[in-house]
Every structure is written in C-alpha cells, then in structure tokens.
C-alpha cells in the first residue's frame, strides 16, 4: 500500500505546480518598464555574485544543472515559497495594523468543506497526534467583532505530511473552512501538527545538503482569515518550544505568531486561544 511516508519530492512538486497553475490568479499586465527594471536587477545581482566570488565554469555548470533539475522535479513553487515568499509578504503587508501575516507556502487548496463553529477538522478515525482545541475571535481594528468571519485552516499531520500532496491521505484531511458565530468567535478541534521537512530527495533537498543546511520548518497551522469588507490575512501559527521556531528554513516565523497551548483540564489534549484583527478593505 502506498502511504504518506512514500511521498516524493517529484510527486509533491508536481502537485504544488498543478495547484498553482489551477488556482493562482495574477494580472500578467506588468509594464515593460517594470519588467525591465526587475529583470535587470536580478540579473545584475547574479553577475555581481559571479564577479565578487570569482565563480568558475565548473560552478556555473553545476548551477545550470541544478536549475534544470528544479524544473524537472516541479520544485519551483517549493523553492520560491521557501526562499523568496517571506520578503514578498513583508512588502505586501507593511502597512497593515491588524494581525501579522506570513507566507502561504505551496500547499493551500481552496474550497475545503465549510462548517459552522464549533467544528472538528476532517480527519481519520485513528488520526495520530495530540488533540488541539484552537479557539478565538475575529475583530476589526476598532475592536468590533466580525460575525460570520471565515477561518480557513490547513496543516500537516502528526508525521508532517499534507493531504493532497502526499499519497494515501483522505482528500480533505486536516483542511477546513469554519464560519465564526455572530460574535466572531470560533472553536476548532484538530490535532497538533508535526514539524515539516521540505522534501529531501529533490533539487531543493540536494541544495540543502550541498550547503550543509537543514530542511526543517517548525510545526505550523496555516490560516486564511476573511470577512466581508476586510483584508484577508494569510498567516501561520507556530508552537512555543519547537526547536525550529528559531531557524525556520522558510524564514516565516514572527514572534506574534507563536502559540503556547496548555493542557486541558479534562485531560483531552491541549487548547489555545488566538484572536485575529482584520484591517478594513482599502
């Protein structure tokens, strides 16, 4: 039987590439001048690196081979989301006053099953991992509750794998969209995700081992929070005490995004409260 532990870089890369092509909209009307500015700056910084580091033909050809492999493995979404998206997010949300956002990463799938609060994320009968009750309230920047706000969340399982990107997992496992109540409150039952290792058997994994880096992201819950008339927040929440919070390979951790769950008094796993503040639509 093929289970999630048989996940390969090529298969999850192909999934992330297909997901990107199907769902990410962009205007494609960037002006010639803007394209020229951005492309020249990127090309110039590569040329500067070549000159300053006196890059050899051997190194140049190794780079060429590696870039070709990133494409063949379908790992461009992974590469860009790990090493570039964090600065794009920082620029995009620099003027927000509400809750902090961070990178989306390659594994969001729209249109997860919708439920009203209180809700339990779709999971297997014997889903491994510590139960986690995640609850909170969605408000605007004036502190007013946002009734019916939508909390979309998705996260890895207790082995660090995402449904739809690793084999053998039910389609919507640990993915959901929960509608807050009339006070903007939500209560979501799930399990605590495990730290996630980006695939080590593809081009990105080869770079990581050649450079002597590690491939870990701290355990995290991905979220998109939205409400009518407000700016959508894409974010992630992490867990205090996770050793990779301090050295996330994707540079996506912010101090405001670290949870400290407590043991539940009924012995039923852990619980944590986190409130979201949305900026008005501009």
Residues that bind ligand DHB (CB under 6 A): 78, 81-82, 103, 105-107, 196, 198, 217, 250
Residue whose C-beta lies closest to Fe ion:
105
Burial 214-223 (b: 16+ CB within 10 A, else e): ebbbbbbbbb
Which residues make beta-bridge pairs with 251?
A: none
E runs forming strands in the chain = 114-116, 119-120, 131-140, 150-155, 175-179, 185-191, 196-197, 216-217, 221-226, 233-239, 258-259, 262-263, 270-273, 276-278
> Which of ligand DHB, Fe ion, none interacts with 191 (beta carbon under 5 to 8 A by kind)?
none
* Token couple for 3: 């289970």
Residue 157 or 271: the one with the smaller Cβ distance to ligand DHB is 157
Residue 148 or 167: the one with the smaller Cβ distance to ligand DHB is 167
- Which residues in 104-123 contact Fe ion (CB under 5 A)? 105
Residue 107 or 274: the one with the smaller Cβ distance to ligand DHB is 107
DSSP string of 227-267? -TTB--EEEEEEETT-GGGGS-TT----GGGEE--EE-TTS
Residue 217 or 270: the one with the smaller Cβ distance to ligand DHB is 217
Q: How far is the CB of 15 from ligand DHB (least distance, A)?
A: 11
Q: How far is the CB of 220 from ligand DHB (least distance, A)?
A: 6
CA 151 to chain centre: 15
Residue whose C-beta lies closest to ligand DHB:
105
> Which of Fe ion, ligand DHB, none interacts with 78 (beta carbon under 5 to 8 A by kind)?
ligand DHB
Per CB under 5 A, residues contacting Fe ion are: 105
């Amino acid at each position: 039987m093929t289970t999630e532990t048989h996940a390969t870089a090529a298969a999850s890369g192909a999934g992330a590439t297909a997901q990107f092509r199907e769902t990410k909209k962009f205007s494609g009307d960037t002006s010639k001048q803007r394209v020229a500015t951005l492309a020249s700056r990127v090309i110039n910084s590569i040329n500067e690196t070549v000159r300053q580091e006196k890059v050899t033909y051997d190194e140049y050809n190794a780079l060429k081979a590696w870039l070709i492999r990133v494409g063949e493995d379908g790992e461009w979404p992974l590469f860009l989301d790990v090493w570039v998206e964090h600065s794009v997010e920082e620029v995009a949300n620099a003027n927000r006053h509400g809750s902090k956002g961070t990178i989306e990463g390659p594994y969001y799938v729209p249109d997860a099953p919708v439920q009203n609060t209180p809700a339990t994320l779709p999971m297997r009968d014997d889903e491994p991992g510590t139960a986690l009750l995640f609850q909170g309230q969605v408000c605007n920047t004036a502190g007013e509750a946002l009734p019916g706000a939508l909390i979309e969340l998705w996260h890895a399982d207790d082995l660090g794998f995402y449904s739809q990107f690793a084999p053998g997992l039910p389609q919507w496992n640990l993915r959901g969209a929960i509608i807050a109540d009339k006070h903007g409150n939500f209560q979501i039952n799930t399990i605590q995700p495990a730290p996630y290792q980006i695939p080590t058997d593809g081009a990105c994994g080869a770079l990581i081992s050649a450079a002597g880096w590690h491939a870990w992201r701290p355990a995290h819950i991905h979220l998109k929070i939205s409400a009518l008339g407000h700016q959508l927040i894409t974010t992630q929440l992490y867990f205090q005490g996770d050793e990779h919070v301090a050295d996330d390979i994707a540079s996506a951790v912010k101090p405001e995004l670290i949870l400290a769950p407590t043991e539940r008094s009924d012995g039923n796993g852990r619980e944590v409260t986190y409130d979201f503040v949305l900026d008005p639509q501009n």
